[in-house]
Amino acid sequence: MQQTILVVDDTPTNIQVLFDLLDASGYRVAIAKSGEIALQRLENSLPDLILLDVMMPGIDGFETCRRLKAAVATQDIPVIFMTALSDTVDKVKGLQLGAVDYITKPIQHEEVLARINVHLQLRQLNQTLEAQVETRTAELRQALETVKQTQIQLVQSEKMSSLGQLVAGIAHEINNPINFIYGNLKPAEEYMRDLLGLIECIQTEVPELPEAVQKYVEDVDLEFLQADLPRLINSMKLGADRIRQIVLSLRNFSRLDEADFKAVDIHEGIDSTLLILQHRLKSTDTLPAVKIIKDYGDLPLVECYASQLNQVFMNLLSNALDALEEHSERQRAAGQAFIPKIQIKTQDLGDGQVAIHIVDNGGGMSEEVRSKIFNDFFTTKEIGKGTGLGLPICRQLVVEKHQGQLHCESHLGSETEFIITIPIKQLAIETAADESLLTIA
C-alpha cells in the first residue's frame, strides 16, 4: 500500500524539491503551505508521516506540532522537522514537543529518504505491536471471563451439592424416627381409648371405690386426664404430621435424585422454600412478622431442574428478607411503623412460558445499584455477609440452564420485583431451535 507524506513548507522551491524526490521514491505526496492549512487538511485525511518546516508565517512549526500532538487523531503521526537552524536549543524544543527527528536544510536527498524510511518502519512496527497487544489483551480478557464463569459454576456446583446433601441428610435422619413415632401414634391412641374405657367401666360398675383408690383418683385429677389425654394425643399426631411435611419439603427442595429435566409443580418448590425459611418470617427484635402474599395462578407442570430452580427461589427470597430487615431498622430508627411484605405471584403467560414474580417492600434500590446487581462479585452487603455471586448464579441457572429470563425492576424508596420467565417445555424449545438451524442451513 502506497504511503502518504504531508510536506508543510511555505517555500515553493523546497516543496518542489521534496515533491519530486518523494514521488520518484514511490510515496504519495500531500502539500500544505502553512500550519493552518496543514491542520485543516488533517481533518479529512491522515498521512503516514509529516515533514514540517519550523519557520513559517502564521503559526510556526513548533505550534503546529504542539497542536498535532494534542489531538487524539494525529498524535501518533511521526513528525520530522525541517530547519536551517543549527541551534541545539531549537532542536531540543522540537523533540520535547513530540517530533521524532530533524532534517537540516539544504536538504540531502539520501539523508531525507533514509530518515523517512526509518521512521515509517518504526511506526509500522509500533502499529503491528499495538495490534498484537490488543489481540493478546482481548484473548487474556476472554480467558479471564472464562475463568470467572468457571469459578462461578464451580461455586454453584459446590454450593448446590453441599446444600442438597445437607438438606437430604437432615431429612433422612429425621424421617426414620418421625415415621416410628407417627406409626405408633395410632395404636397408642387405641390403647388410650381402651384404658379410658376401662376406667369408665370401673367407675360405672364400682361406684364406691376403695379409699386408697379414691384418694389416688383425686390426686391425679382423673377427670382432667380423661378430658385432656385425647387432646394431647391429637396434638402429638398434628405435630408428627407437621414434621413429616417438613421432611417432605426438605426432600422436595434438595431433589438430589433428579439430575435431568422433570415436569414439576412450581408452587410446591416455592412452598418448600418458604417452609425452610419459616424461621426468618417470624417476628424478631429487628423485624416484625413478614406477611407472605401468595397469588398463585393456574400453572401446568413445568419441565426444569427442580433443585436448581428451588435454589433460585431460595436466593431471591433470602435477599428479599435481607432487604426487609435493613429497611425495618431504618424505619424503626425514624420512628415509623413498617409492615414487611413479600408477594409471590405466578402466571401462565399463554405463550408456552410461565412467570414467577417475587416482590418485596424493602425500600427498593437506586438505578445505579440495580444496573450492577447481576455483575459477578458485586454486593452491597457488608464484608462476610455477601459474596456477590448469588444473583449472577441465579441468572445463569435461569438463562443458561432453563432458557429463560431473569430481570429486576426497582425504585428507591419503593418496592423491588424480580421476574422469572421460563418455558413450560424445555424439549420443545430445543427442538424448535434445531429446526430453525436446519432451515437456515
pLDDT reading at 7 higher than 90: yes
Least confident of 154-168, 324-338, 371-385: 154-168
Tell me the three state secondary structure of residue 110: helix
CB of 365 closer than 8 Å to CB of 412: yes
pLDDT at 93: 83
Q: What is the mean pLDDT of residues 177-198?
A: 87
Query: pLDDT value at position 200?
Result: 87
d(CA 152, CA 377): 10
What nine digits make up the cell of 78?
A: 511521526
Q: Collapsing DSSP states into helix, strand and coil, what is residue 80?
A: strand
> Can you give the pLDDT at residue 421?
96
State the pLDDT at residue 375.
82
pLDDT single digits (tens) 219-243: 888 888 888 888 888 888 888 877 7
The CA-atom distances, in angstroms, between 414 and each of 56, 98, 393 are 67, 56, 25
Q: Determine how β-strand 262-264 pairs with β-strand 302-304.
A: antiparallel
At 197, which helix (H) or strand (E)? helix 109-205
Place of cell 457488608: 382
What are the pLDDT digits (tens) for 247-286? 776 666 655 444 567 889 999 989 988 888 888 898 888 8
- Please count the helices (runs of H) and the strands (runs of E) in the chain: 13, 12
CA–CA distances in Å: residue 395 to residues 25, 216, 308, 401, 436: 61, 68, 11, 9, 25
Residue 12 has pLDDT above 50, yes or no: yes
pLDDT for res 161: 55
Nine-digit cell string for 207:
361406684
Residues 305, 289: Cα–Cα separation, whole Å:
31
Backbone angles phi and psi of 256, in degrees to 5: -65, -25
In the DSSP assignment, the letter for residue 300 is P
pLDDT, tens digit, for every residue of 60-107?
999 999 999 999 889 989 999 988 766 666 778 888 888 888 888 888
Average pLDDT over residues 20-36: 91
Between 380 and 267, residue with greater pLDDT: 267
Could you give the domains of the chain? 4-107 (3.40.50.2300), 261-441 (3.30.565.10)
Query: How many whole angstroms separate alpha carbon 268 and alpha carbon 251?
Result: 11
Q: Is the pLDDT of residue 326 over 80?
A: yes
Please state, in angstroms and rounded to a whole number, the distance separating the CA atoms of residues 116 and 28: 13
Confidence of residue 439 (pLDDT cuts 50, 70, 90): very low
DSSP string over 19-50: HHHHHHTT-EEEEESSHHHHHHHTTT---SEE
At residue 383 the predicted structure's pLDDT band, cuts being 50, 70 and 90, is low
> Could you tell me if 326 and 338 are in contact, meaning their C-beta atoms sit under 8 angstroms apart?
no
